[in-house]
Structure 1
Amino acid sequence: MTTSSKARSWHRFRCDTEGFALAEFALALPVMLVVYCGTVDVAQMVMANRKVTQLTLALADLSARRSPLPPDEIENIFNAAQAVLMPFDSANISMVISSVVIDAGGIAKVCWSNQRNGQALARGTTVTLPDSIRVPSTSVIMARASYTYTPMVGYVLTRTFTLGGDPIYTRPRSGQAVGSASIEQVVQTGTPPCPIF
């Protein structure tokens, strides 16, 4: 092969663009897949986090509406709040509802607490509340929910995440002024009213 034929062959090779798009696609495909998988996982996690917040709001709101609150109604509240989480797996949610009574000295203590897949607070446990919530001689319903999120694809986000966990407070809507200090509160059936702990 002469130098001129080599030059022509090299020129033809350089000018031949067939298959160039396929080669570019083959190089870009792994990057595109990583971006896509990451986007799916992050979008699902953001949606789950939003649903956990809505679930916590539902727990607080539904618990503050009725007094006295019987045990079967508390189970109904947990079931209704859990439905907010759909289509995510409800087995991974932890929920706690507590009635917190603030005495005349501004000390906040748990009057009653119920849980599903979580840790209920013991009666008389002192709770730290934000200053805007800690009004003497009042009470609040404190709801807390957390969700263990496992990424759907698991290629970019490779571990589980705990979403939520921050308490949401609601004042009783139809509380009863009971207990030794006549503090308006949501009373749980079968549990003495507070502030007598």
Structure 2
Amino acid sequence: MFNRFFRSVLRRAGHSARRIGSDHSGIAAVEFAYIAPVLLLMLMGTFEFSRAVSIDRRINSISAMASELVAREETINNQALQRVAEAMKHVMQPYDDDSIVLRLIAVRASADNATDTRVEWSYERSADSNSTPYSQCSAYTLEPGLVNKGTGVIVAEVGYTYEPVFGNFIYRGLDFTEVKAEDGDTTGINRNWTSKAFHAPRKSCVDYNGTNCVMNCQ
């Protein structure tokens, strides 16, 4: 009797095992459970990458547009520069524009030495306040060949604090300052992404606050 019972139990167990082994209805769910985290990371990474590219283009556009707008003018003052800075904030939309720093600098080379380049005037707009980032006649290094003797250029420096939507969940340990280091080359802008652009003034210089383009740096 015990043997029959034991054989019956084994048959039922074997039947159940074969039925479970032939049941493929849960395979898809198990496979999805394995790949779902990978797909989620890929989705988050793709979203953040496209967002970063879009912000990068806006930062570069701001530096190029701001320097060009100022270079077109013959004369300019703080109020006009403030309007330029406020207009540039609209370029960042729909992204956060509170961290934008915009610097506009007029740089001129010495009449005797094209590599002796100094600041004529400078302006900075940050967090709804104005300041002067560079003192007049302070040295400002330009790329070789950018200006000739006695000529000038309008420089726009832009800084922006880039923060990923997903924080350090994906980008742990990544230094975003290094991501755009080649576009940075700015001094004193406490932002992890920066951009710089240059435009030659339409006239010989841009007169700032009635100085008549006079700069005595002797």
TM range (shorter): 0.7 to 0.9
Q: CA deviation at 1:135?
A: 1.2
Instruction: Give unpaired runs (5+ residues) of structure 1.
Output: 176-183
The higher radius of gyration belongs to: 2
SS at match of 1:88: coil
Counterparts of 2:102 and 2:18, CA distance in 1:
71
SS at match of 1:151: coil
RMSD over equivalenced CA pairs, Å: 2.1
The amino acid of 2:199's aligned partner reads T
Counterparts of 1:165 and 1:9, CA distance in 2:
66
1:123-171 deviation per Cα after TM superposition (whole angstroms, max 9, x unaligned): 1111111112131110000111011011112231357845542421100
The amino acid of 2:163's aligned partner reads T
SS at match of 1:66: coil
Q: CA deviation at 1:76?
A: 1.0
Q: CA deviation at 1:8?
A: 3.2
**Map of 1:10 onto structure 2:** 17
Instruction: Give unpaired runs (5+ residues) of structure 2.
Output: 1-5, 177-190
Give the conservation status (yes or no) of the 8 Å contact 1:108–1:129. Answer: yes
Return the match for 2:27 from 17, 20, 30.
Answer: 20
Aligned pair in 2 of structure 1 residues 145, 100: CA closer, same or farther (>3 Å)? same
1:82-117 deviation per Cα after TM superposition (whole angstroms, max 9, x unaligned): 211111111111110000011121210000000012
SS at match of 2:135: coil
**Is 2:117 the counterpart of 1:108?**
yes
Equivalent pairs counted in the alignment come to: 188
**Map of 2:188 onto structure 1:** none
**Map of 2:205 onto structure 1:** 185
Give the conservation status (yes or no) of the 8 Å contact 1:103–1:195. Answer: no
Counterparts of 1:194 and 1:53, CA distance in 2:
31
Q: CA deviation at 1:192?
A: 5.2
**Is 2:83 the counterpart of 1:76?**
yes
**Is 2:166 the counterpart of 1:146?**
no
Which residues of 2 match residues 64-143 of structure 1 at below 5 A?
A: 64-104=71-111, 105-106=113-114, 107-117=116-126, 120-143=133-156
TM-score, normalization: structure 1? 0.86
Counterparts of 2:134 and 2:18, CA distance in 1:
80
Give the conservation status (yes or no) of the 8 Å contact 2:59–2:195. Answer: no
Percent of aligned pairs sharing the same letter:
24
**Map of 1:172 onto structure 2:** 201
* Higher normalized helix content (fraction of residues): 2
